[in-house]
Structure 1
């Protein structure tokens, strides 16, 4: 009798929950997730050691304005240097050209001059919009329940603190999820707006250009089953060209402003040279190839083992995209994931920020386990990952690898 009563109550609660508008359901999930993250932040701050980056007893505002948030604040109030800063050896040093303007200035506008407040608002709103768009993107492929659970895991992911600190990731995710949704629905005109917004929020729009190229090839080979009219071909080609133009335009802007042709690439290499000195120029894919033996030697392991690990990692990522759970997500998500992984391999030097750089692969949360046990375990691991990341990067952050 008691079991039957509990079952009826659960069914009744489920009926009420499903009767709510999608936006409200996602909002409830998102707010609960943000409360959980806030609780973790407060607990970490209360136990912050004296030698941590933020000192003993930091408050939430310290975390919101920590790390790269300072660079975005600099962009909002000081703009970009007209003279590329150099060290004594004549090599570019870290500077604001590595950070795009949309997030920085939008935070300033919404904060009415109080940049930290605006940054928090933009990140919170960006995260919510990203959750809504992710749900809409996945619901068409994996159903309402699985899409909602993907949002639960996304909102509580190990790096979910990015939804409430002064980083551009949440805003970029909002634009990205909306762009993938527009692509899957073939709402081409939205992409003409979203691609520049993505491109000037944070690096990564060149991966979207590759996605459009692969998507065009995919549609071409499937044109008998899924007709590809000329107008769609035109949109795909023009949008791909737009994404390429936006992706490379920032290098042009930096060059024109500073008079240094490779100012942007030199700025990005300033961070890489902090790990491996002596890098003379940017070479695609070199970052991972040099990082693999570097990290393994640092850990006291043979350098060749690092190369083996890199090969296994790449092959494993490729195999994962061909798995049944990933195939259910649709071609747009899989092609984006492949494009973005290739982009990271081409341009990035893997270090502690690698975790943050992987966040744009969040549509893959749709491939999470579907059983109750699997979902519950995934959520527990997400929250544990949050605790570890916040405690390591914010609660401590006092050594070379503790950089978010």
Structure 2
């Protein structure tokens, strides 16, 4: 038996990397599928999906419906209004790349849902490959492979199999981060515009490029910074900033309302706040949410901002001093800081927070750094437990305000 195990281990280690990652990824997808089938059997008439839904219903459920609508009908030229005259939820909150790419893939099968599934599924596999490339020179081969296992099996792994833009964005993001770290800046001229119209978040990448440029300038004596690289970094930062705001400009131009995009995004936030929303104020969402959630939990709302401040300080300290995160290198920590600051500025944290944290996936490498097998298996167990809880609450139940993916 020991000889058999040793032979199997050697064969596994000698197999092509793409094949090993494919095996891990497909195994993770089998587990996720089993969980979704189990959730379907427990769904009732009280769930958003009704009694006895199929996997196809989950694929096109929740926000996938909006991407589907974009692919079939495009974007409204006038903003829909609620009975009280406020801007209602509408398709302008969803970027076009995933919607139309899924339509193109699904054309062969006569089904947008099939196209969305295949696009998410395949992009997820290539995202695993890209994540491995991004981490392998920093934390070692074994830790990197465990990072891929955690990523493919994480609490929000259902995104690899449903009609959301997340996995496509992650693939583009990992490629962009890898290109930046390796100083292959030319690739970013292609990746940045596609990222910008796939999912919100490119402004965080613009901030990251700025911090990356500052870091390179600071270290220019030990790490020479060529003039052409300065030009690339500045130009790419400008490109990311322009494309980051361009969707707002396009929405305003088509609808005739300069504030169309922000009003659309605030339509979702309005569902959470009884007093309504006057307008967008950077960083206000987290303060409002901290008070909201503390009140929901029966705690004084005034404690919310205090807890939020402690959370921000803890996150900053972890990025600066935690050895496992420091092992990822400065660029990946700068990206994490940039994206967290972006979320802090624009987001209203609620049940979708876990999904919106997916761009921090390179941080799985930090959890894979400890070499203890018990630790790594424990992290995997927590990932799978979290995945089941998320799938159960979002797809089997999905009938109250905090059960939205």
Q: Name the TM-score, length of structure 1 as normaliser.
A: 0.97
- Within 5 Å, give how 1:26-45 maps onto structure 2: 26-45=21-40
1:90 to partner: Cα distance: 2.4
Q: Partners in 1 of 2:155 and 2:313 — Cα distance?
A: 24
Residue in 2 that maps onto 1:158:
155
Q: Partners in 1 of 2:29 and 2:209 — Cα distance?
A: 33
Residue in 2 that maps onto 1:281:
279
What count of residue pairs does the alignment treat as equivalent? 399
Q: Partners in 2 of 1:305 and 1:14 — Cα distance?
A: 52
Residue in 1 that maps onto 2:373:
372
Residue in 2 that maps onto 1:102:
97
CA distances 1:191-247 after superposition (whole Å, capped 9, x unpaired): 111111111000000000000000000111111110111011111000000000000
- Within 5 Å, give how 1:124-203 maps onto structure 2: 124-203=121-200
1:9 to partner: Cα distance: 2.9
Q: Name the TM-score, length of structure 2 as normaliser.
A: 0.97
1:86 to partner: Cα distance: 1.4
Residue in 2 that maps onto 1:245:
242
- Within 5 Å, give how 1:297-336 maps onto structure 2: 297-322=295-320, 323-336=322-335
Instruction: Find 1:208's aligned residue among 168, 187, 205.
Output: 205
Please give the root-mean-square deviation of Cα atoms over the aligned residues, in Å: 0.9
1:318 to partner: Cα distance: 1.0
Q: Partners in 2 of 1:344 and 1:359 — Cα distance?
A: 12
Q: Partners in 1 of 2:330 and 2:4 — Cα distance?
A: 39
| Structure 1: tracts of 5 or more residues without a match | none
Q: Partners in 1 of 2:331 and 2:118 — Cα distance?
A: 29
1:331 to partner: Cα distance: 1.7
Q: Partners in 1 of 2:125 and 2:11 — Cα distance?
A: 22
Q: Partners in 2 of 1:39 and 1:362 — Cα distance?
A: 23
Q: Partners in 2 of 1:116 and 1:157 — Cα distance?
A: 23
1:367 to partner: Cα distance: 0.3
Residue in 2 that maps onto 1:296:
294
| Structure 2: tracts of 5 or more residues without a match | none
